[in-house]
Structure 1
Amino acid sequence: MADVRRVEEGLGHTPVIEEQVHEKNEKIIKDEDHQHENHKEKNGQVHDKLVEPKGEEAEEPVIRQKTKRVATLDAFRGLTIVIMILVDDAGGAWARIDHSPWNGCTLADFVMPFFLFIVGVAIALALKRIQKVGNTVKKIIIRTIKLLLWGIILQGGYSHAPDDLSYGIDMKQIRWCGILQRIALVYLIVALIETFTTKVRPTVLKSGHFSIFSAYRWQWLGGFIAFLIYMITTFSLYVSDWSYEFDEDHQIKKYIVKCGMRGHLGPACNAVGYVDRQAWGIKHLYASPVWIRLKACTLSYPEMGPLRKDAPSWCNGPFEPEGLLSSISAIVSGTIGVHYGHVLIHFKGHSERLKHWVSMGLVLIIIAIILHFTDAIPMNKQLYSFSYVCFTAGAAGIVFSGLYIVIDVWGYRTPTLFLEWIGMNALFVFVMAAQGIFAGFINGWYYKREDNNLVNWIQEHVFNDVWKNERVGQLLYVIFAEITFWGVVSGILHKFGIYWKL
Structure 2
Amino acid sequence: MAEIKGEHNVHVVSEEEPVSAKPLPNKPKRVASLDIFRGLTVALMILVDDAGDQWPVIGHAPWNGCHLADFVMPFFLFIVGMAIPLSLKKIPNKLLAVKKVIVRTLKLLFWGLLLQGGFSHAPDHLSYGVDVKHIRWCGILQRIALAYLVVSLVEIISRSGQARDDPEHTNLSIVKLYYWHWLVAACIVIVYMTLLYGIHVPDWTFTVHNPDSIYNGTTFTVSCGVRGKLDPPCNAVGYIDRVVLGINHVYKKPAWRKSEACTMKSPYEGPFKKTAPAWCYAPFEPEGILSSISAILSTIIGLHYGHVLVHLQDHLSRLKQWILIGLALLTLGFVLHFTHAIPLNKQLYSLSYVCVTSGAAALVFSAFYVMVDILGLKLLFVPLKWIGMNAMFVFVMAAEGIFAGFINGWYYDNPQNTLIYWIQEHVFIRVWHSTKLGMLLYVIFVEILFWAVIAGILHQLGIYWKL
SS at match of 2:62: coil
Q: Are 2:424 and 1:459 aligned?
A: yes
Q: Which residue in the other structure is 1:216 paired with? A: 178
SS at match of 2:278: coil
SS at match of 1:96: coil
C-alpha spacing 1:209/1:345, structure 2 compared with 1 (3 Å): closer
Structure with max Cα Rg: 1
* Per-residue deviation, residues 443-500 of structure 1 (Å, max 9, x unmatched): 1111121111111111111111111111111001000110010111111111111111
Aligned pair partner of 1:40 in 17, 24, 46: 17
Cα shift at 1:42: 12
Cα shift at 1:11: 4.3
Q: Are 2:143 and 1:182 aligned?
A: yes
Q: Are 2:197 and 1:235 aligned?
A: yes
Output the CA distance in 2 between the equivalents of 1:488 and 1:238.
Answer: 52
Q: Which runs of 5+ in 2 are unaligned?
A: none
8 Å CA contact retained: 2:24, 2:313: no
C-alpha spacing 1:464/1:13, structure 2 compared with 1 (3 Å): farther
Cα shift at 1:118: 0.2
Q: Are 2:79 and 1:118 aligned?
A: yes
Q: How large is the RMSD of aligned CA atoms in angstroms?
A: 2.0
Cα shift at 1:18: 4.9
Aligned pair partner of 1:289 in 254, 272, 286: 254
Aligned pair partner of 2:152 in 185, 188, 191: 191
8 Å CA contact retained: 2:14, 2:374: no
Cα shift at 1:67: 2.1
SS at match of 2:181: helix
**Structure 1: which amino acid aligns with 2:158?**
T
SS at match of 1:318: coil
Q: Which residue in the other structure is 1:173 paired with? A: 134
Output the CA distance in 1 between the equivalents of 2:176 and 2:427.
Answer: 57
SS at match of 1:362: helix
Output the CA distance in 2 between the equivalents of 1:86 and 1:11.
Answer: 21
* Per-residue deviation, residues 203-228 of structure 1 (Å, max 9, x unmatched): 22777652221111011111111111
Q: Which residue in the other structure is 2:40 paired with? A: 79
Output the CA distance in 1 between the equivalents of 2:268 and 2:55.
Answer: 8
Output the CA distance in 2 between the equivalents of 1:469 and 1:165.
Answer: 27
Cα shift at 1:251: 4.0
SS at match of 2:324: helix
8 Å CA contact retained: 1:326, 1:383: yes
C-alpha spacing 1:366/1:138, structure 2 compared with 1 (3 Å): same
Output the CA distance in 2 between the equivalents of 1:474 and 1:371.
Answer: 36
Output the CA distance in 1 between the equivalents of 2:447 and 2:102.
Answer: 33
Output the CA distance in 2 between the equivalents of 1:267 and 1:251.
Answer: 21
C-alpha spacing 1:154/1:37, structure 2 compared with 1 (3 Å): closer
Structure with bigger RCO (C-alpha 8 Å, 6+ apart)? 2
Q: Which residue in the other structure is 1:17 paired with? A: 10
8 Å CA contact retained: 2:287, 2:347: yes
C-alpha spacing 1:197/1:129, structure 2 compared with 1 (3 Å): farther
Output the CA distance in 1 between the equivalents of 2:196 and 2:41.
Answer: 29
SS at match of 2:137: coil
Q: Are 2:304 and 1:339 aligned?
A: yes
Structure 1 range deviating more: 81-90 or 225-234: 225-234
Q: Are 2:375 and 1:410 aligned?
A: yes
SS at match of 2:279: coil
Q: Which residue in the other structure is 2:395 paired with? A: 430
Q: Which runs of 5+ in 1 are unaligned?
A: 1-6, 20-35, 49-64
User: TM-score, normalised to structure 1's length?
Assistant: 0.89
Aligned ranges 1:294-373 → 2 under 5 Å: 294-373=259-338
8 Å CA contact retained: 1:130, 1:198: no
Output the CA distance in 2 between the equivalents of 1:171 and 1:374.
Answer: 44
Cα shift at 1:40: 3.0
Q: Which residue in the other structure is 1:155 paired with? A: 116
Output the CA distance in 1 between the equivalents of 2:400 and 2:288.
Answer: 19
- Aligned residues between the structures: 463
SS at match of 1:256: strand
Indicate the percent of aligned positions where both proteins have the same amino acid: 54
Q: Are 2:243 and 1:278 aligned?
A: yes
Q: Which residue in the other structure is 2:446 paired with? A: 481
**Structure 1: which amino acid aligns with 2:432?**
W
Cα shift at 1:231: 0.7
Output the CA distance in 2 between the equivalents of 1:224 and 1:200.
Answer: 24
* Per-residue deviation, residues 180-223 of structure 1 (Å, max 9, x unmatched): 00000000000000011122554227776522211110111111
C-alpha spacing 1:410/1:296, structure 2 compared with 1 (3 Å): same
C-alpha spacing 1:209/1:438, structure 2 compared with 1 (3 Å): closer
**Structure 2: which amino acid aligns with 1:479?**
I
SS at match of 1:244: strand
Cα shift at 1:173: 0.1
**Structure 1: which amino acid aligns with 2:369?**
Y
C-alpha spacing 1:392/1:201, structure 2 compared with 1 (3 Å): farther
8 Å CA contact retained: 2:97, 2:156: yes
Output the CA distance in 2 between the equivalents of 1:251 and 1:434.
Answer: 29
SS at match of 2:16: helix
User: TM-score, normalised to structure 2's length?
Assistant: 0.96
**Structure 1: which amino acid aligns with 2:82?**
V
Q: Which residue in the other structure is 2:466 paired with? A: 501
